[in-house]
Amino acid sequence: MLSSNRNFSTLSQLSILLWFLSVIVGLGSALPQPPKKKYPFTARAVLKAGQFEAEISFWLFDKPSPTAKSPKVPGYLSTHWPLPSVSIVYSGVLKNQGFSYHIHESAITGNDCKSSGNHWNPTGSKFTGPKAFYCKPERPSRCESGDLSGKHGKLVPGPNNQRISYLDPSLKLSYSRRGILGKSIVVHNQSGAMIACANIVASN
């Protein structure tokens, strides 16, 4: 009789333990799952001032096939998937001018382009050698990360809705010191004056 009671007690304890475990598993499956992607894969900035307007899109160009090799980008020793890419559609650059454009370190407050702060320069680029070695498309490593026109050329006059596209391994779609999300784009005219600006906003 004593053995029977012990067996019953053991079975009861086991049943309670199994029920408790099933409750825990059920609660765990009911909790929301964390997002698979920590950061978005696309972002953009839309600028408009007078006759000038531009939409600047950023996205991560993913590996097109399992065997695809990373393309060579001038000025960079190596690249890695996914590759940061930029596409710009713009109109209204004044005749005989070239507009420069940069990523700035702060988001814009209201419509005040000056609130964008300094050029985004997470690597602390301060090259001061001979002018022939200054920032230019052939030498992107000499440029601030945010100096997009220095690395890829200015926006030049032409028909409406001109489009340019390029890869830029120095850009990261993240909310961090080395990422472009939460920062801004500023466009300057030939004399260097700020003429348009917008925040870089995640678009997915």
In this prediction, residue 8 carries a pLDDT of 44
Question: d(Cα 71, Cα 78) in Å, to the nearest integer?
Answer: 8
Length of the chain: 204
Tell which wins on pLDDT, 2 or 174.
Answer: 174
Closest CA to 53 of 151, 161, 157: 161
Tell me, what's the pLDDT at 146? 95
Question: Do 25 and 110 lie in a common domain?
Answer: no
Q: d(Cα 118, Cα 30) in Å, to the nearest integer?
A: 46
Are 73 and 157 members of one domain?
yes
Residue 161 has pLDDT above 60, yes or no: yes
Residue 127 and residue 82 share a domain: yes
Confidence of residue 157 (pLDDT cuts 50, 70, 90): very high
Same domain, 29 and 52: no
- pLDDT-derived band at 41 (thresholds 50, 70, 90) equals confident
Q: Which domain holds residue 97?
A: 42-202
CATH of the domain at 123: 2.60.40.200
pLDDT per residue as tens digits for the range 169-192: 999 999 999 999 999 999 999 999
Q: How far apart are CA 21 and CA 63, in angstroms?
A: 42
Mean pLDDT of the chain: 82
Q: What does pTM read for this prediction? A: 0.75
Residues 19 and 93 in one domain: no
In 33-168, DSSP assigns E strands to 42-49, 52-61, 83-91, 100-104, 162-167
Q: How many domains does the chain have?
A: 2
Instruction: Read off the pLDDT of residues 117-140 as tens digits, 9 standing for 90 and up.
Output: 999 999 888 765 566 567 888 888
pLDDT tens digit string along 84-117?
A: 999 999 999 989 999 999 999 999 998 899 999 9
Residue 165 CB-half CA count within 13 A: 9
Same domain, 27 and 113: no
107 and 172, same domain (yes or no): yes
Same-domain check for residues 61 and 107: yes
d(CA 202, CA 21): 41
Whether residue 74 sits in one domain with residue 22: no
Question: Residues 62, 147: one domain?
Answer: yes
Q: Which residues have C-beta within 8 Å of that of residue 130, sequence separation ≥ 6? A: none
Do 139 and 117 share a structural domain? yes
136 in the same domain as 100: yes
